[in-house]
Amino acid sequence: MEPPQDASPDQTSDGNAPAAVSVRSVETLTKRQDFQRAARARRAAKPGFILQMRERAPEEAGGIRVGFTCSKKVGNAVARNRAKRRLREIARLTLPDRGLNGMDYVLIGRRGTTATLPFEQLQHDFHAALDVLHHKTR
């Protein structure tokens, strides 16, 4: 015997959980050439990371793409992985709503600060960096 199903605010009317992020998908950069192109583009440096943004050519059209990198200067493997996890999370929470289609974003971790800054500070810095780069685009 099953208990009756209540329609909770965490579920849609068909019983499925709502999407965790916006409908807009964010693709991940994997090719070295894409990272190199982004390195020659505009950037905004913040205490916890550096954000690079590149506008893709019309023939490369598509949605939003994002890449993450942390060099060995950031620390050992544990520190690099923690920094990248934090960068992935701020991108996942922000880019579907605030990112621009046809753009590549690369987040570069910084030594000591990416893994240790409060998460709210990283998010605030990411929003500020996006505002700076998007303002230069328009």
Total domains present in the chain = 1
Would 8 be classed as within a structural domain?
no
Cα dihedral sign, 28-137-127-11: negative
Would 7 be classed as within a structural domain?
no
Would 19 be classed as within a structural domain?
no
SS3 content of the chain, % helix, strand, coil (to 5): 40, 20, 40
Would 122 be classed as within a structural domain?
yes
Residues with Cβ < 8 Å from 87, sequence gap 6 or more?
A: 49, 68, 70, 107, 109, 114, 122
Would 17 be classed as within a structural domain?
no
28-82 pLDDT, tens per residue? 999 999 999 999 999 999 999 999 999 988 888 788 999 999 999 999 999 999 9
Would 87 be classed as within a structural domain?
yes
Residue 104 has pLDDT above 90, yes or no: yes
pLDDT attached to residue 14: 54
Query: 64: domain CATH number?
Result: 3.30.230.10
CA dist., res. 85 & res. 20, Å (int): 17
Would 36 be classed as within a structural domain?
yes
Residue 60 lies in domain: 26-137
Q: Give the DSSP H or E segment for 6.
A: none
Would 108 be classed as within a structural domain?
yes
